[in-house]
Structure 1
Amino acid sequence: MAHTIPGFDHRRIRVDEEVELHVAVGGSGPPVVLLHGFPQTHLMWRHVAADLAADHTVICPDLRGYGDSDKPCEQGPDTYSKRTMANDVVALARALGHERFALAGHDRGALVAFRAGLDHPGTITHVACLDVLPTLDMWEALHGTSAAVGFHLYLMAQPPGLPERMIEAGADAFFSHFLDLWAEDPDAVPADIRAVYLDACRGAVPSIVADYRASAGIDVEHDRADRAAGKQLTMPVSVLQQDWGAALGYDATALWGAWAADLEHSTVSCGHFMAEEAPADVAKALRDLLTR
């Protein structure tokens, strides 16, 4: 691989019968798993991972369907459910010798971290979620013309066929749109890293769409069942977000507080790609979380 996190080893780990994940591992000490978002790969954590590796074992996988990890064909709603992807992460950590670990995710990775915390409370010691709402709350918060910011959510929620063809017809333009729109500091994603992201997404359109399709279906079902049962994250939780609440009309702290009793919620003054735009702030927030 042309681009690596300095000091990290790269390997492939089998997490179920059909899927191997590509993962970068570095440092030593208590384990922390970092999950990337859309439209990125594990490289989005390059600055934060190097910081944390000074005193932690840092594990940065490409999620199933993304980057250099396997991209199984969508056989049904479970293939790319966040429950399945959370199981991947737990299996990955165990394969590396870690029965308990802290977990941080950004965007799509944050949804996986949220689900892992709910499904595996004895395994996940801490959870950090960057710039996202839980899936069910996200769909309930979107409404009216303000929901136009999430047009891609509705596009990729459609049945197989049309969204894949539309995106593949202009993949670079589609994925570049989000890199341009969501970054307050365009220099935070330099040209060489941007090229890696676009190349990875270009070759993963069906699996990326399947990931989003699951979030409009089975992931909502899982969240709804857990909400009805009063299930919560039982470990310390930190959430970092942009202040989208005022624009979209929701109280992010209250929404997250319904899921996590031990919650630290804060807003950050940067764009969506905060691990690349404000890595020192993100690293500090993660270190603070790990002391709780």
Structure 2
Amino acid sequence: MAPVIPGFDYRRVPVADGVSLNVAVAGSGSPLVLLHGFPQTHLMWRHVAADLVADHTVICPDLRGYGASDKPSANAAAAAGPAAVTDPAAADDAAAGPAAYAKRTMAADIVALARALGHDRFALAGHDRGALVAFRAGLDHPATITHLACLDVLPTLDMWDVLHGTTAAVGFHLFLMAQPPGLPERMIAACPDDFFGHFLDLWTGDPRAIPAEIRAAYLDACRAAVPSIVADYRASAGVDVDHDRADRDGGRRLTMPLTVIQQDWGAALGYDAAALWRAWADDLEHHTVGYGHFMAEEAPADIAKALRELLAR
């Protein structure tokens, strides 16, 4: 049986035509939506969610294309397994329509999810890929998002700006999955556990933070979602950049209280992360921490505390 967050109610919620999200919900009080990153599922929030549920309605979905949520334009390939993405037609289907995995589309999913659960306004926290969705939701839906937290990520446009030279090797997967449909899907599907497991190993500061059963659940979910995960990353090298650039050129900013928690990648890659975020936000608290990338699993008490402090602002 697949792991779950104990005490949470699981359901499937339609959020768009042909797309339903798998979501875990518990608690009462002001709503807080938690969005997972790569290569994970909603389970990455299991400790933080169990803490925050004491005084909030906590909503933990799998993003579209991930976990047990629907995978538009990739369902056929995912269901057929790795062999399916050796067919160029299946790979084309996985990327059909760049908007399918635009962060704008994924953010609209989350707003629709919250409304379906009875919440017209809510706080939102995201990690990694989920933080990019949260960032876009904050820009596109400022009257809906009351508070925003982004963990260990830069806005898409800034991320591409700072990756250059040999230091960009740390983001090799970004460049791989940005390639046209076909080759990235085939390469990753040939050894998915090695590919996704590489990041679980490399980015974990404390290996005990991701126990064997959770690691297995992450790998199982990713193995079944290669085309949609690639499509998500491909969107971040295309349509997401266009959306971010239009907002930056137009002076659009995040107006709600924002907390950003990051590792000190800036020291290695030569940028000031806080300054980059400050260019987007009117009310920013930026924290640099010494945890590994999977900080919600490595230091859940600290992350829960930071989210409570954000919600008090």
From 265, 271, 287, the counterpart of 2:308: 287
Unaligned residue ranges in structure 2 (runs of 5+): 74-94
Give, as a single letter, the amino acid of the residue that structure 2 aligns with 1:230.
Answer: G
Q: Decide which of 118, 126, 136 is 1:105's aligned counterpart.
A: 126
Q: How far apart are 1:76 and its partner, in Å?
A: 1.0
Q: Percent same amino acid among aligned pairs?
A: 79
> Deviation string for 1:165-195 (max 9, x for gaps)?
0000000000000000000101100000000
After superposition, give the CA deviation of every residue in 1:114-165 in whole Å (9 maximum; x if it has no partner): 0000000000000000000000000001010000000000000001100000
- What is the rounded CA distance, in whole Å, between the counterparts of 1:211 and 1:84 in structure 2? 11
Q: How does 1:97-136 map to 2 (within 5 A)?
A: 97-136=118-157
The equivalences for 1:137-148 within 5 A come to: 137-148=158-169
Find the counterpart in structure 1 of residue 255 from structure 2. 234
Q: Which runs of structure 1 show a deviation greater than 4 angstroms over 4 or more consecutive aligned residues?
A: none
The amino acid across from 1:24 in the alignment is A
Equivalent residue number for residue 83 of structure 2: none
What are the Cα deviations for residues 62-109 of structure 1, in whole angstroms up to 9, with x where unaligned?
Answer: 000000000011321100000000000000000000000000000000
Structure 2: which amino acid aligns with 1:34?
A: L
Distance 2:270 2:18 in 1: 42
Contact map agreement 2:9 2:25 (CA 8 A) in 1: yes
Partner secondary structure for residue 239 of structure 1: strand
Among candidates 213, 220, 238, match of residue 241 of structure 2:
220
Give 1:265's aligned residue: 286
In the alignment, the residues of structure 1 paired with residue 48 and residue 32 of structure 2 have an alpha-carbon distance, to the nearest angstrom, of 11
Q: 1:46 corresponds to which residue?
A: 46
Correspondence for 2:9: 9
Q: What one-letter code is carried by the residue in structure 2 that aligns with 1:201?
A: C
Aligned partner letter, 1:102 = A
Q: Answer yes or no: is 1:71 the counterpart of 2:83.
A: no
Name the aligned partner's letter for residue 264 of structure 1: E
Q: What is the CA distance between 1:269 and its match in structure 2?
A: 1.3
- Is 1:154 aligned with 2:175? yes
Per-residue deviation, 1:6: 1.1
What SS does the aligned partner of 1:78 have?
helix
> Is 2:16–2:109's contact at 8 Å kept on the other side of the alignment?
yes
- For residue 2 of structure 1, report the CA deviation from its aligned partner: 2.7
Contact 2:121–2:143 at 8 Å: present in 1 too?
Answer: yes
* One-letter amino acid of the structure 2 residue matched with residue 54 of structure 1: A
TM-score (normalizing by structure 2) = 0.93
Letter in 2 for 1:99: D
Gaps of 5+ in 1: none
2:223 to 202, 205, 208: 202
Secondary structure in 1 aligned to 2:118?
coil
Aligned amino acid, residue 206 of structure 1: P
Provide the rounded CA distance (Å) in 2 between the counterparts of 1:76 and 1:277: 37
Post-superposition CA distance 1:201-239 (Å, at most 9, x none): 000000000000000000000000000000000000000
1:268 CA drift (Å): 1.2
Q: Which residue in 2 is equivalent to 1:187?
A: 208
Q: Which amino acid aligns with 2:9?
A: D
In 1, Cα distance between the equivalents of 2:310 and 2:284? 10
Letter in 2 for 1:87: A
The structure in which a higher percent of residues are helix is 2
The letter of the residue matching 1:37 is G
Q: CA deviation at 1:263?
A: 0.1
Cα distance in 2 for residues equivalent to 1:246 and 1:2:
39
Matched, 1:277 2:301: no
TM-score (norm 1): 0.99
Instruction: Tell me the secondary structure at the aligned position of residue 79 of structure 1.
Output: helix
- SS of 2:101 mapped into structure 1: coil
Partners of 2:168 and 2:18 in 1: CA distance: 36
Residues 36-60 of structure 1: CA deviation (Å, up to 9, x unaligned): 0000000000000000000000000
Contact 2:19 2:72 in 1 (8 A): yes
